[in-house]
Structure 1
């Protein structure tokens, strides 16, 4: 923004300089050449200079168009690169989400297995406790068996990739 203001100030100063020189030339011509025919002849001398300046202005215009074309091409290339980087970033985010989901699933599975292991230990304690009645021991054996079947089903349902 600051650079743009600086360029605008320079452009305004150059335009004012050109208008000043043009105005001074008109005053000098009017002062030093009193006859209209002399003024006309003097003006005709600058026809070639006028053509030269027009050609230079046209060349600068073409050069400006070429520069703008190159900038547009670079901008397009940057946009393509940015798009590719955004796609890579998006893929990485999806992979990270997949990893997090897997970790949550594994944590959940581990917690479930630990809870089942705790229950099996509890029922084992009831079975081995000499103070337990036959009814309590039989019920503990049945519940332990049910939990062990559930553990077997969980393990059978797992793929090698599920447990890493």
Structure 2
């Protein structure tokens, strides 16, 4: 916007000066016929030279301001490009962590996206939406007790590999979040880059993380009400403490 303003201003100044230069001799010949009078009249326009000098100085100032603006825009474009590349570097790190994810299902090993799909299909959905008070969350937990117990068993069966995967991916999310938040990008550009990151993760990962977090959170908070044995919850507590992605990118309030 500023660059367009200075461009228009420069154009107006050039047009005005050109118009004065063209009109001045024409008007001088049209209104004054006596050569001596023309000389006297022309001498009275010495201030016109000063005016043109001032315009030239203004042009220099405008040129400097435009160059500064162009430099700032170039710096920002370079920063935006670097941050975009950084987003894709973190996505590559996530893909490498996903490649190492493996489970045993019915005696057969499943890997990577297949393992992720296995979790997506077998984890029962547990939601905390609109459950803001302890009483509301307790009711939600009691109504979903069977699903919570089923999810806990699945999480325990895959705990070591799942925890390793979450540790690796969580580091990607924390690094990305810290770098973006401390950068000088606009809020809209930061949001856009986070959206790019989330969209490339796909739909399964956020849902899996949400269900795991909500399951372990409710099991820990209402262990006595749900009649959950201590050993059933202690082995999965590390997972709850490691799921930062859910808080960072989905604005969940950590309990």
TM-score (normalised: structure 1): 0.49
Name the structure, 1 or 2, with higher relative contact order (CA <8 Å, separation 6+).
2
Greater C-alpha Rg: 1
